[in-house]
Amino acid sequence: MTQSVQKSDLSVRVVFGAATRKSIAAEVQRLGGTRALVLATPQQSNEALAIAEQLGALAVGVFCKAEMHTPVHVTEAAMVHVAETKADCLIAIGGGSTTGLGKAIAYRNDLPQVVIPTTYAGSECTSILGQTEDGLKTTLRDARVLPEVIIYDSELVITLPVSMTVTSALNAMAHAAEALYAPDRTEKTTALAMEGLRAFVEGLPKVVASPNDLAAREATQRGAWACGTVLDQVGMALHHKLCHTLGGSFGLPHAETHAVVLPHAIAYNARAAAKELQPICELLGGENAGTALYTFAKQMNAPMALRDLGLKEADLDRAADLATTKPYPNPQPVTRDDIRALLQAAWAGDTPIE
Ligand code: NAD
């Protein structure tokens, strides 16, 4: 099934369904592409090669060196490949890392992008690009970066291991949870955020119980689209700031960090935004949205403690300092002591501080 999404003057074509990757050639031609370069991580090079084979003469190469956090040196190597192959279109198959590489190339040369997401991270729905250079991650927003076509093929997400399925889903849910109290939210963004959260609350238990259930996989991919789209439409706050700090400065893995931090950040902000977060309580049951998310994550067997992701207790002071140096809008005032306490609870895997 196809739907077109209008965002200001930008239009994104979104395709859902099992085996929809068969339409890649038609999508490339619709974009006017005749020379497609296929992108992937080294781990998903087989998927990239299969797409190149499927495209035949429409594909001019594969570049399978995408990495987490979009290092600029990888993008520069890919740009050389783009020039050598004279590619006029990009196909990114994978999670946020591969999508990030495609977006980084498009930022530099405005090539059209077809993205085939295989996680729930939601990067394919945004005009946001994070890039890393000399150990520093910076984020920009640019219309060139937004992909033209997204193909959510449910058959391609069934290979995502259950543990990654859960953490990636919680990563997506984090976009929607923070959208509920964003200062620039609208009725439309709140409805979209709730559509995304509902899709995961209903669909994730089914996927965990039966990872090959294509209907449940498609339902969760629709959730990923809603959560990713709302991420592009409103500003994020404490949760995303903490995850950015923990990933950027301590090398913690992206989706797992989101999964652990989410209940703690939402419980923190429920002190000031309980009304805005009430729909989460209604969806999951319970009186505090953060605690309700903690229970849901536990039921899904998500990682619950930052210490299990490799963060040392001795790093908590520096993490609290880094996450509170620059002020940013957040419902509950951000103080160094309160964030230090939040991080301690998240590090130990305790229930969130309400
Ligand atoms: P990822 O893309 O790094 O994938 C993790 C690993 O899983 C990779 O090795 C990948 O090849 C593999 N994988 C992916 N799908 C698979 C599948 N179906 N089967 C088997 N293996 C699979 O992880 P991610 O969490 O999707 O993306 C994280 C990155 O995305 C981070 O760099 C983050 O900053 C970025 N991101 C950006 C935005 C944005 O709007 N700019 C939004 C969300 C995430």
What is the DSSP secondary-structure string of 88-134?
-EEEEEESHHHHHHHHHHHHHH---EEEEESSS--GGG-SEEEEEET
Backbone angles phi, psi at 152, to 5 degrees: -95, 90
Name the domain boundary from 156, 186, 208.
Answer: 156
Res 7 pLDDT > 90? no
The residue count of the chain comes to 354
What residue has token string 């319970």?
286
Residues 186, 327 within the same domain: yes
Higher per-residue confidence, 206 vs 132:
206
- Is the model's pLDDT at 6 over the cut of 50? no
| Residue 354 resides in a domain | no
| 120 lies in the same domain as 178 | no
The reply to whether 110 and 227 lie within a common domain is no
Beta strands in 108-189 (DSSP E): 113-117, 128-133, 136-141, 149-152
Atom of ligand 1 nearest to the CA of 42: 11
Same-domain check for residues 282 and 140:
no
Task: Please indicate, yes or no, whether residues 150 and 171 belong to a single structural domain of this protein.
Answer: no
137: nearest Cα among 257, 238, 244: 244
- Cβ-based neighbour number of residue 35 at 10 Å: 17
- Strands 113-117 and 2-7 turn out to be unpaired
218 is a domain residue: yes
Nearest protein CA to atom 20 of ligand 1, as residue: 160
Quote the pLDDT of residue 10. Answer: 55
Contact by Cβ (8 Å): 11, 19: no
The lowest-confidence range among 9-13, 64-68, 125-129, 287-291 is: 9-13
Query: Dihedrals φ, ψ of 305, to 5°?
Result: -135, 135
pLDDT greater than 80 at residue 95 = yes
- What's the whole-number average pLDDT of the chain? 95
Question: Does some domain include residue 299?
Answer: yes
The whole-number pLDDT of residue 283 equals 98
Provide the pLDDT for residue 245: 92
User: Which atom of ligand 1 lies nearest, measured to the CA of 167?
Assistant: 25
- Specify whether 167 is located in the same domain as 149: no
pLDDT at 135: 74
Is 100 a domain residue? yes
Please give the Cα distance from 324 to 316 (Å, whole number): 12
**What value does the mean pLDDT take over residues 104-123?**
98
Same domain, 198 and 143: no
* 10 φ, ψ (degrees, to nearest 5): -95, 145
Query: Ligand 1, from 118, 151, 242, 249: best to mutate by most atoms within 8 Å of Cβ?
Result: 118
Question: Do residue 326 and residue 183 come from a single domain?
Answer: yes
Please identify, among 137, 156, 175, the residue that sits at the C-terminal boundary of a domain.
Answer: 156
**Which amino acid type is present at position 125?**
C
Distance separating alpha carbons of residues 341 and 20, to the nearest angstrom: 47
The residue whose two tokens read 């989460």 is 280
Residues 207 and 344 occupy one common structural domain: yes
| Number of alpha carbons in the 13 Å side-chain half-sphere of residue 314 | 0
CATH of the domain at 12: 3.40.50.1970
Query: What is the CA(48)–ligand 1 centre distance, in A?
Result: 15
Q: From the CA of 310, how far away is ligand 1's center (Å)? A: 19
Please measure the distance between the N-terminal and C-terminal CA atoms of the chain and give it in whole angstroms. 42
71, β-bridge pairs: 132
114: left (phi over 0), alpha (psi -120 to 50) or beta: beta
Quick one: pLDDT band at residue 248, thresholds 50, 70, 90? confident
Would you place residue 134 in the very low, low, confident or very high pLDDT band (cuts 50, 70, 90)?
Answer: confident
Mutate to test the pocket of ligand 1, among 39, 49, 64, 68 (most ligand atoms within 8 A of CB): 68
Integer Cα distance of 66 and 74 in angstroms: 7
Average pLDDT over residues 142-170: 98
Number of compact structural domains in the chain: 2
Look up the domain containing 112 and give its range: 2-156
Answer yes or no: do 201 and 251 share one domain: yes
Domain boundary, last residue among 123, 139, 156: 156
Q: Per the domain annotation, does 167 fall within a domain?
A: yes
Please check whether residues 96 and 229 belong to one and the same domain. no
CATH number at residue 256: 1.20.1090.10
The answer to whether residues 313 and 307 touch, using CB atoms and an 8 Å cutoff, is: yes
Find the residues whose C-beta lies inside 6 A of ligand 1: 41, 43-44, 68-69, 94-98, 100, 118-119, 121-123, 126, 128-130, 156-157, 159-160, 168, 171, 231, 254-255
Tokens 């992909």 belong to which residue? 147
User: Does 38 reside within a domain?
Assistant: yes
- Cα 116 to middle of ligand 1, angstroms: 12
Residue 50 pLDDT > 60, yes or no? yes
- The Cα 76–Cα 56 span in angstroms is 26
Asked whether residue 168 is assigned to any structural domain, the reply reads: yes
Cβ atoms of residues 348 and 260 within 8 Å: no
Greatest extent of the chain over all pairs of C-alpha atoms, in Å: 59
Same domain for 326 and 182: yes
Beta-sheet strands, E only, within 198-287: none
Establish if 45 belongs to a structural domain. Answer: yes
What's the CA-to-centroid distance between 68 and ligand 1, angstroms?
7
